[in-house]
């Protein structure tokens, strides 16, 4: 069983620069800047409404945030990807911003249907990138609606088994009821590389949303989402991700085989996106260009 490991090098960077000029961005920088302005719109389906942050023009990339967190976590990353000639959509999970809908008795399939509705509204298919918990929803969508998913990108997927101690740190990291210093300790332990400042994630947590998402995951059988249908997958793995211990792998390449590519990013923990936005963006852009 083979796993393709993507290494970023000067040639792939040159390809990105050339594609930027070919797309007309360099010759019309004002129009390009206008396309990067973030707009907001609402998509409604089946008694649910989802707020969507959108920017850029080109093939569709959808970004899904981590457990109990907002689509604004991708502010920097989305701009970088949109700047490379993609239309980036960031749906807010139910319970955040203007996104509203039932919060009880859900499964991952319900949350995937929210994402399906926004892609259908665009009249296209998409590359769907999910950060941590978001990758569960991305893979579920690929199983349920393969017509809407060109590829799936998994940002910092955790290992199959997470220790009770680490689960405790995850919960306390996002709970404002705990003292600031205690939360910082847990954020550092669960999410951040040692040299990085975990305080950037003190804010931006939605405990009720996280509880809803955990319940939805618990109510969903693994076999109904883990394999992501037959979609191609890119795993962007954080080299110092504490949630990969003790095995140091998420097991996805071994499980799903040749359709999985892997990029490993150094000096990053499970938070990954705020730690190494440039490296993450580069990996996404290079991979997404395969599907242009």
> Could you give the 3-state DSSP secondary structure of residue 130?
strand
Pairing of strands 87-91, 60-64: parallel
Asked whether residue 185 is assigned to any structural domain, the reply reads: no
The residue segments making up the domain with residue 160 are: 4-9+16-164+205-291
Asked whether residue 230 is assigned to any structural domain, the reply reads: yes
User: For the packed helices 277-288 and 75-83, what is the interaxial angle rounded to 10 degrees?
Assistant: 40
Give pLDDT, residue 29: 54
> Is 225's pLDDT higher than 50?
yes
User: CA dihedral in degrees (175, 176, 180, 185; nearest 10)?
Assistant: 10
CA distance 128 to 151: 6
Burial profile 148-157: b = 16 or more Cβ within 10 angstroms, e = fewer = bbbbbbbbbb
> Is 250's pLDDT higher than 90?
no
CA distance 67 to 198: 16
Give pLDDT, residue 28: 55
Asked whether residue 177 is assigned to any structural domain, the reply reads: no
Pairing of strands 39-45, 48-55: antiparallel
The pLDDT confidence band at residue 21, using thresholds 50, 70 and 90, is very low
Give pLDDT, residue 34: 63
- Residue 62 β-bridge partners: 89, 128
Asked whether residue 188 is assigned to any structural domain, the reply reads: no
Domain count, the chain: 1
Pairing of strands 48-55, 87-91: antiparallel
Asked whether residue 211 is assigned to any structural domain, the reply reads: yes
Task: Report the range of poorest mean pLDDT among 19-23, 70-74, 120-124.
Answer: 19-23
Q: What is the pLDDT of residues 136-187, one digit of tens each?
A: 999 999 999 999 999 999 999 988 788 899 999 999 999 999 999 999 999 9
Asked whether residue 186 is assigned to any structural domain, the reply reads: no
Burial of residue 201, with CB atoms counted within 10 A of its CB: 0-12 exposed, 13-18 middle, 19 or more buried: buried
Pairing of strands 149-155, 233-238: parallel
Q: Six-digit token pair at 153? A: 């990108």
Q: For the domain that residue 83 is a member of, what is the CATH number?
A: 3.40.50.1820
Asked whether residue 61 is assigned to any structural domain, the reply reads: yes
CA distance 35 to 53: 13
Asked whether residue 58 is assigned to any structural domain, the reply reads: yes
Give pLDDT, residue 5: 40
CA distance 119 to 128: 10
Give me the sheet containing 48-55, strands edge to edge. 4-5, 260-265, 233-238, 149-155, 126-131, 60-64, 87-91, 48-55, 39-45
CA distance 75 to 80: 9
Give pLDDT, residue 159: 82
């Amino acid at each position: 069983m083979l796993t393709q490991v993507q290494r970023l090098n000067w040639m792939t960077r040159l390809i990105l620069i050339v594609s930027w000029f070919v797309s007309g961005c360099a010759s019309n920088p004002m129009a390009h800047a206008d396309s990067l302005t973030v707009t907001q719109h609402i998509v409604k389906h089946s008694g649910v409404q989802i707020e969507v942050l959108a920017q850029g023009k080109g093939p569709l990339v959808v970004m899904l945030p981590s457990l109990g967190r907002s689509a604004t976590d991708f502010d920097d990353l989305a701009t970088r990807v949109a700047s490379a000639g993609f239309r980036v959509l960031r749906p807010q999970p139910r319970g955040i911003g203007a996104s509203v809908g039932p919060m009880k008795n859900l499964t991952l399939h319900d949350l995937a249907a929210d994402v399906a509705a926004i892609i259908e509204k665009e009249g296209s298919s998409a590359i769907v990138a999910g950060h941590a918990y978001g990758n569960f929803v991305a893979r579920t969508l690929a199983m349920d609606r393969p017509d809407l998913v060109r590829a799936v990108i998994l940002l910092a997927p955790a290992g199959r088994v997470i220790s009770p101690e680490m689960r405790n740190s995850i919960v306390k990291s996002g709970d404002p009821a705990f003292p600031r210093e205690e939360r910082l300790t847990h954020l550092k332990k669960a999410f951040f590389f040692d040299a990085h400042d975990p305080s950037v994630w003190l804010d931006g947590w939605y405990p009720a949303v996280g509880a809803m998402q955990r319940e939805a995951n618990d109510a969903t059988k693994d076999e109904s989402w883990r394999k992501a249908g037959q979609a191609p997958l890119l795993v962007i793995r954080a080299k110092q991700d504490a949630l990969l211990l003790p095995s140091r792998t998420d097991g996805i390449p071994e499980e799903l085989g040749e359709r999985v590519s892997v990029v490993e990013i150094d000096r990053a923990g499970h938070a990954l996106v705020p730690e190494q936005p440039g490296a993450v963006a580069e990996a996404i852009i290079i991979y997404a260009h395969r599907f242009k």
